[in-house]
């Protein structure tokens, strides 16, 4: 299999997001520039790092965010793995198709939950250099109704075992878990296994009650199964300049005061990318969406490969 190398970005350099440490609500609408909020308390993470990309709202931009942040880090030479934690067909595992070796059993995240294989055995290369995947399919739903022993801790345990077998450190610089539109057992397991959550929010589809229950879930996980969990980023997906977008930004910054908040600007090229089975960064390296995710990725995590 030949693997595609991710391109450098080709967008206009003047089109970058302005970095601020607080929202400036006083600037008139006409003179606004899209901004990335980096709170004074925020420190970039270093590898190896595990992120859970979560929001129980459907279509919030979870899969796009996982793929594009992953692609941005892979383009820097980091070893990146995406974990599909969603039962929907035609989601992540159809976007970045795993290359299964011939004549061997095909594993998935479900096999890890049911102790049928290790996380490493369920990880496959994709056609993109530096991006590997743990695939899933509809049978992942069995986890929710059969509730295998220790399911909440299954991802954490699998990551720990993998690191131990690799001499104490994960073989991946970044693992990004793409969550399902649900706060079920698999999402809890993702948050339990992660160092940090990343929350994509679709400005148009913002659901304030939903944001409340997500916030409560994160706090329960912090209290009960993963005290070290932080929320490192909120991504406003398919962002357009609007008064609503600015209100949404202020609102989420209140909920997650230590998180970086950034827009991923609306771009038709982002919506096309899954069909081409390549990240937006490869499909449209000149797009604002690719540039915004690259800038967010740079701020969130720094580290030599």
Ligand X SMILES: Nc1ncnc2c1ncn2[C@@H]1O[C@H](COP(=O)(O)OP(=O)(O)OP(=O)(O)O)[C@@H](O)[C@H]1O
- For strands 230-239 and 131-134, give the pairing: unpaired
Choices 61-69, 136-144, 207-215, 225-233 (CB under 6 A): range interacting with ligand X:
61-69
Q: Is 15 in the site for ligand X (CB under 6 A)?
A: no
Q: Is 79 in the site for ligand X (CB under 6 A)?
A: no
Q: Is 62 in the site for Mg ion (CB under 5 A)?
A: yes
Assess contact for 34 and 241: CB atoms under 8 A. Answer: yes
Q: Is 86 in the site for ligand X (CB under 6 A)?
A: yes
**Which residue, 37 or 60, is less far from ligand X as judged by CB?**
60
Nearest to 156 by CA among 180, 125, 177: 177
Q: Which one-letter DSSP state was computed for residue 76?
A: T
Residue 201 interacting entry, from ligand X, Mg ion, none, C-beta within 5 to 8 Å by type: none
> Site for Mg ion (CB under 5 A): which residue of 35, 48, 56, 63?
63
Per-residue binding string, Mg ion, 87-116, x by CB under 5 A, is ----x-------------------------
Choices 20-28, 54-62, 96-104, 144-152 (CB under 6 A): range interacting with ligand X:
54-62
CB of 146 to Mg ion, least distance (A): 23
Say how far residue 149 (Cα) sits from the centre of its chain. 26
Assess contact for 123 and 81: CB atoms under 8 A. Answer: yes
Residue at token pair 């609007």: 242
Hey, which bits of 117-252 come out as E strands?
A: 124-125, 131-134, 174-179, 196-202, 230-239
**Which residue, 238 or 249, is less far from ligand X as judged by CB?**
238
**Which residue, 42 or 51, is less far from Mg ion as judged by CB?**
51
Per-residue binding string, ligand X, 171-210, x by CB under 6 A, is ----------x-----------------------------
Residue 70 interacting entry, from ligand X, Mg ion, none, C-beta within 5 to 8 Å by type: none
Q: Is 47 in the site for ligand X (CB under 6 A)?
A: no
Assess contact for 135 and 124: CB atoms under 8 A. Answer: yes
Choices 11-19, 133-141, 206-214, 263-271 (CB under 6 A): range interacting with ligand X:
263-271
CB of 186 to ligand X, least distance (A): 12
> Site for ligand X (CB under 6 A): which residue of 59, 184, 210, 303?
59
Sequence-ordered list of residues with C-beta below 8 angstroms from that of 4, at least 6 positions apart, any chain: 127, 128, 129, 278, 282
Q: Is 237 in the site for Mg ion (CB under 5 A)?
A: no
Q: Is 54 in the site for ligand X (CB under 6 A)?
A: no
Paired strand residues for 174: 49, 80
Q: For residue 32, what are its two tokens? A: 């606004």
Hey, which bits of the chain come out as E strands?
A: 18-20, 35-37, 49-53, 80-85, 124-125, 131-134, 174-179, 196-202, 230-239, 260-265
> Site for ligand X (CB under 6 A): which residue of 34, 47, 61, 279?
61
Q: Is 57 in the site for Mg ion (CB under 5 A)?
A: no
Please tell me the total number of residues recorded for the chain in this structure: 305
The C-alpha atoms of residue 105 and residue 175 are separated, in whole angstroms, by 23
Give phi and psi for 196, each to the nearest 5: -150, 150
Residues that bind Mg ion (CB under 5 A): 62-63, 91
Residues that bind ligand X (CB under 6 A): 58-64, 86, 88, 91, 181, 237-238, 264, 266-267, 270-271, 289
């Amino acid at each position: 299999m030949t693997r595609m190398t991710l391109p450098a970005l080709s967008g206009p350099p003047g089109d970058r997001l302005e970095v601020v440490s607080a929202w400036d609500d006083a600037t008139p609408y006409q003179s606004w520039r899209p901004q990335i909020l980096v709170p004074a308390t925020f420190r970039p993470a270093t590898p190896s790092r595990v992120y859970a990309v979560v929001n129980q709202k459907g279509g919030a931009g979870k899969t796009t965010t996982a793929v594009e942040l992953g692609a941005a880090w892979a383009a820097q030479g980091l070893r990146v793995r995406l974990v599909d934690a969603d039962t929907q067909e035609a989601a992540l595992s159809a976007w970045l198709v795993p290359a299964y070796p011939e004549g061997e059993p095909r594993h998935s995240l479900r096999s890890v939950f049911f102790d049928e294989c290790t996380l490493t055995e369920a990880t496959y290369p994709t056609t993109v250099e530096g991006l590997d995947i743990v695939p899933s399919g509809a049978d992942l739903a069995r986890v929710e109704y059969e509730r295998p022993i220790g399911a909440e801790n299954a991802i954490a345990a699998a990551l720990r075992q993998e690191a131990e077998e690799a001499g104490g450190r994960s073989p991946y610089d970044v693992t990004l878990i793409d969550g399902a539109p649900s706060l079920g057992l698999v999402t809890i397991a993702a948050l339990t296994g992660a160092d940090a959550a990343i929350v994509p929010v679709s400005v148009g589809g913002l659901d304030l009650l939903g944001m409340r229950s997500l916030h409560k879930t994160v706090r329960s996980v912090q209290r009960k199964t993963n005290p070290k969990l932080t929320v490192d980023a909120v991504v406003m997906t398919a962002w357009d300049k609007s008064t609503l977008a600015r209100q949404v930004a202020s609102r989420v910054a209140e909920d997650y005061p230590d998180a970086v908040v950034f827009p991923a600007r609306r771009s038709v090229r982002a919506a096309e990318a899954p069909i081409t089975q390549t990240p937006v960064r490869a499909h449209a390296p000149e797009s604002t969406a690719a540039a915004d995710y690259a800038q967010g990725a740079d701020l969130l995590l720094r580290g030599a490969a």
